[in-house]
Amino acid sequence: MSDISTVLQEHRVFAPPPDFAKKAHIGSLEQYRALCAEAAADGDAFWAARAKEELHWQTPFGQVLDWKPPHARWFLGGTTNLAFNCLDRHLPKRAAQEAIRFEGEPGEVRVLTYQQLFEQVCRLANALKALGVKAGDRVGIYLPMVPEAAIAMLACARIGAVHSVVFGGFSAEALRDRLADAGATVLLTADGGYRKGAVVPLLANARAAKAAGIPTLQHTVVFQRLPQAPALVAGEHDWAALCARASADCPPTWVDSEHPLFILYTSGSTGKPKGVLHTTGGYSVWASLTTRWVFDLHEGDRYFCTADVGWVTGHSYVVYGPLLNGTTTVIYEGAPTTPGPDRLWQLIAAHQVNVFYTAPTAIRAFMRLGDEHPRKHDLSSLRLLGSVGEPINPEAWMWYRDVIGQGRCPVVDTWWQTETGGILISPLPGATPTKPGSATLPLPGIFPEVLDQKGNRVEVGAGKLFVTRPWPSMLRTVWGDDERFQKTYFAERPGLYFTGDGARRDADGYFWVIGRVDDVVNVAGHRLGTAEIESALVSHGKVAEAAVVGRPDALKGTALVCFVTVKASVEPSEALAAELKAHVAKEIGAFARPDDLRFAAALPKTRSGKIMRRLLRDVAAGQDSKQDTTTLEDLSVLAALRQDDE
Ligand code: PRX
């Protein structure tokens, strides 16, 4: 494939440290291979055994899998409850153990034991019931990274309500679109949250979202995070007051294995975000199992994942996976460099973190800031390091291993997606030899393949990444749009799940995920659809047309470059460029603010009118932006002469 070529040649291999392997849940390549062979030989038996080991089933399941591509149903007839599995079943042993260890950006520490978390979840669950929430109803969650975010998710799961968490960095407009699409009846939010020393105005955004029209929304529950209690208006309720009135006794609602658990919106290649739907049984089994396998959790561990609950990593590996395993999950509210560039290292030392999981963008940023910041802190509690969200370049991987892990900690580069629910390709730290920059091998039960344009299997080389067999935590559909689900994920090769990623397989069968092959970009670990940014730009009155592409960026992985044509009477200017960037930040969120915005007289198009993105990507990657405008016009002419579409 011409557009998926890699020049990376990385030959370093790191074997798992022997003393790590000795204690690991999966401690050798043989053990890993045996599990893979078991799954390959009899998938139903393999998954049935895993499902029984990981979860309490109130009613046992019968049939393991019903697979009518592209629709899968897992653990049929079984009933369970995710909150029960995260909380109640641990209480006999762990009531007094820390479940959540929280530090706010301003520095206050709050600890919730399993017993305390259980009680708070039950109270909120009863409060939701009192507001009329029933099993299957959708509840929006728009909170800062405080324990209440986890409490909110668990309370929904407890009563069978379907949560849809919206990242606190999203704007009022983005919040409205998501809540309206999900048909949320209740929104759980806060008056604000702390980030980079400032207050994120969550309640103001929630009010603006509601005012813009969310027909189903009846109640807003407001958690007070800021010193001054907010003045609430009709339809708004104080979180603490509601919970104080509610009973701490709330029996779990046993739901069918395929009962919807959550909807999480993610970007695709059209302007409208997709509501990825996950269901209860299969998702829980895989979240639980992968957390233990990949992070090799042991009794007494403190585990810290820096992701926000607004993203899937926060769902599976801040809240559900660690709690299913009875671990202590460390939650940090704020920015990684507030108040100083050593904030995360200070947190690791202060909370004696054993397992740390973050994104390559953060690793690269810290690498630039200098080794003196981590060196100031005692990082000797660390045993294992993880990376997620985008390809990690070998240089950053080596720095992570040497400077943060002090050469002692294995690094697990975990590949997965919102749609996959949990990690699919990753080293097992006690078993898999790692290569810097490679997510290595699929987990047992997962069958990925690299296929070429014709759909042939690529043994060694690059192509598109597919998953060829269903797995329990795969998305079930796109909320309200099953046709889009089928088209996006199963049209490329019928019956095979298409990831949207390009990947290379090396001679050892290792996977090197290169990046997206569709119009989705990964900016600083945040997944964005270029079409979303384009529709935000054209919603501005002065813009006629816009095309957005990614440009490789040493720090953010990808930077956003926008090409804009303005309406006839409008004069392009620096000021207008700044205004348009701010407009995108307002429409979507500050994290989507374009890095570069260039005006063009016309956008290069094929005869059939398709914007020539590949050419724009080349132009964006070029240095001289003044030159680019002319280049663009030349390209338009060239394009018009071309017979075929790009
Ligand atoms: O392109 C891949 C990249 O992130 C995409 C999924 O983004 P999202 O659904 O937001 O989930 C992020 C957290 C799981 C993938 O299609 N990606 C994720 N992890 C890796 C990665 N690319 C390379 N290596 C990874 N480890």
Digit-coded pLDDT (tens) for 422-461: 999 999 999 999 999 999 999 999 999 999 989 999 999 9
The model's pLDDT over 362-417, given as tens digits with 9 standing for 90+, comes to: 999 999 999 999 999 999 999 999 999 999 999 999 999 999 999 999 999 999 99
| Whether residue 516 has its Cβ less than 6 Å from ligand 1 | yes
pLDDT at 632 over 70: no
| Ligand 1 site, residue 309, Cβ cutoff 6 A | no
The per-residue pLDDT for 138 is: 98
Compute the distance from residue 412 Cα to the ligand 1 centre, in Å: 14
Q: Which atom of ligand 1 is nearest to the CA of 419?
A: 9
- Confidence (pLDDT) at 634: 57
Residue 527 CA, closest ligand 1 atom number:
10
Q: In whole angstroms, what is the distance from residue 417 CA to residue 336 CA?
A: 23
Alpha helices in 160-246 (DSSP H): 172-182, 202-211, 239-245
Q: CA 138, CA 164: separation in Å to the nearest integer?
A: 7
The three-state secondary structure class of 645 is: coil
Taking 70 as the threshold, does the pLDDT of residue 159 lie above it?
A: yes
Q: CB pairs under 8 A, 24+ apart, for 2-5?
A: 3/502, 3/517, 3/614, 4/462, 4/463, 4/464, 4/502, 4/504, 4/514, 4/517, 5/462
- Per-residue model confidence as pLDDT tens digits over 91-144: 999 999 999 999 999 999 999 999 999 999 999 999 999 999 999 999 999 999
Q: Which atom of ligand 1 is nearest to the CA of 514?
A: 23
Judged on CB neighbours under 10 Å (0-12, 13-18, 19+), 484 is: middle
3-state helix, strand, coil split of the chain in percent (to 5) is 35, 25, 40
Cis peptide upstream of residue 69 (ω within 30 degrees of 0): no
Does residue 619 have a pLDDT over 50?
Answer: yes
Mean pLDDT of 537-556: 93
Task: Read off the pLDDT of each residue in 339-347 and give the average, rounded to a whole number.
Answer: 97
| Banded model confidence at residue 610, pLDDT cuts 50, 70, 90 | confident
Q: Quick one: which H or E segment has residue 129?
A: helix 114-130
HSE of 101 in the Cβ direction (CA atoms, 13 Å)?
A: 21
Structure token pair of residue 634: 């030349």
The residue to mutate among 276, 286, 417, 473, having the most atoms of ligand 1 within 8 angstroms of its beta carbon, is 417
d(CA 480, CA 334): 34
CA of 330 to the centre of ligand 1 (A): 22
Using the 8-state DSSP alphabet, how is residue 517 labeled? S
Q: Is residue 500 in contact with ligand 1, taking CB distance under 6 Å?
A: yes
* pLDDT at position 269: 78
637 pLDDT band (50/70/90 cuts)? low
Nearest CA to 532 out of 587, 477, 582 is that of 587
Instruction: Please write the tens of the pLDDT for every residue from 265-294.
Output: 999 877 789 999 999 999 999 999 999 999
Joined tokens for residue 431: 């078993």
Using pLDDT thresholds of 50, 70 and 90, give the confidence band for residue 604.
confident
Tell me the domains of the chain and their CATH numbers: 119-252 (3.40.50.980), 540-645 (3.30.300.30)
More confident residue, 261 or 601: 261
Whether 312 shows a pLDDT value over 70: the answer reads yes
* pLDDT interval class at 1 (50, 70, 90): very low
Q: Residue 8: what pLDDT? A: 57
pLDDT in tens, 356-377: 999 999 999 999 999 999 999 9
Ligand 1 contact via 513 beta carbon (within 6 Å): yes
The predicted-structure confidence for 60-99, as pLDDT tens digits, reads as follows: 999 999 999 999 999 999 999 999 999 999 999 999 999 9
390 within ligand 1 shell (Cβ under 6 A): yes
Question: pLDDT at residue 644 above 50?
Answer: no
Query: Nearest to residue 189, comparing CAs of 159, 160, 162, 149?
Result: 149
Residue 583 has what pLDDT?
A: 97
Relative to the CA of 500, which ligand 1 atom is closest? 16
Instruction: Count CA within 13 A, CB hemisphere, residue 332.
Output: 26
pLDDT of residue 605: 79
The two tokens of residue 628 are: 């680019």
Residue-wise pLDDT for 28-72, tens only, equals 999 999 999 999 999 999 999 999 999 999 999 999 999 999 999
416: CA distance to ligand 1 center in Å?
A: 5
Neighbours of 109 (CB within 10 A): 10
Regarding the beta carbon of 503 and ligand 1, being less than 6 Å apart is answered no
- How high is the mean pLDDT of the chain? 94
DSSP state, residue 223:
E
pLDDT reported for residue 643? 36
Query: Tokens at residue 342, please?
Result: 């050593």
Is the pLDDT reported for residue 645 higher than 50? no
Name the residue at shortest CA distance from atom 22 of ligand 1. Answer: 390
Ligand 1 lined by 413 (C-beta under 6 Å): yes
% of the chain exceeding 70 in pLDDT: 95
Assess whether pLDDT exceeds 70 at residue 628.
no
Task: Give the pLDDT of residue 646.
Answer: 40
Q: What is the pLDDT of residue 4?
A: 46
| Atom from ligand 1 closest to the CA of residue 416 | 14
Torsion angle of C-alpha atoms 97, 326, 308, 431, degrees rounded to 10? 130
Residue 122 near residue 83, CB atoms below 8 Å: no
CB distance 236 to ligand 1 below 6 Å: no
Residue 526 alpha carbon, nearest atom of ligand 1: 10
β-pairing, 302-305 with 328-332? parallel
Ligand 1 pocket check for 526: Cβ under 6 Å: no
Q: By alpha-carbon position, which residue is closest to atom 14 of ligand 1?
A: 417
* Residue 173 β-bridge partners: none
Given ligand 1 and candidates 501, 521, 526, which is best to mutate, with the most ligand atoms within 8 Å of its CB? 501
